[in-house]
Amino acid sequence: MSQENVEIVRRAIEVNRSGDLRTAVDALIDLSDPAVEFVSALAGLEGGAYHGHEGVRRYLMDMAESWQEWRNESAELEEITPDTVLATFVFRATGKDSGVPVERRNAVVWTLSEGRVSRAITFASRAEALEAVGLSE
């Protein structure tokens, strides 16, 4: 199941982009457990958590309010445990009001259960993400 989990995370990262928000919401919901928790440093809650499928909708709406456009690039995925995947990637966006381009490296720990995302937590660095799961570089 672990390689399948890596592919689920890859799809979740790829669909989290600006453009057709309805398609992005539907795709993320399809990949997520109904009780999913997203903790994002990039959306409107500034590190707050989004819960459940309604939280997925709110998360993407907050992203759309903050960013004119956004995408994730160069994802590196690594299985930490059979149910945990560490993803590092580059987030590229343009501020909605400012028009300022932003580039940020993200590390996200994804937890999966029965083939669906149950939790995704964003960290400032790969080292911080590894530490959160009890590992070090």
- The CATH number assigned to the domain holding 83 equals 3.10.450.50
Domain that holds residue 42: 2-132
137 within a domain of the structure (yes/no): no
Backbone angles phi, psi at 54, to 5 degrees: -65, -35
On whether residue 58 sits in a domain, the answer given is: yes
Q: Would residue 77 count as lying in a domain?
A: yes
**CA atoms within 13 A of residue 30's CA, in its CB half-sphere:** 11
Q: Per-residue confidence of the chain (137 residues) as pLDDT tens digits?
A: 578 999 999 999 999 988 889 999 999 999 999 999 999 876 654 557 899 999 999 999 988 998 999 999 878 999 999 999 999 999 999 999 999 999 999 999 999 999 999 999 999 899 999 999 988 77
* H-type alpha helices, 40-93: 52-66
Number of structural domains, the chain?
Answer: 1
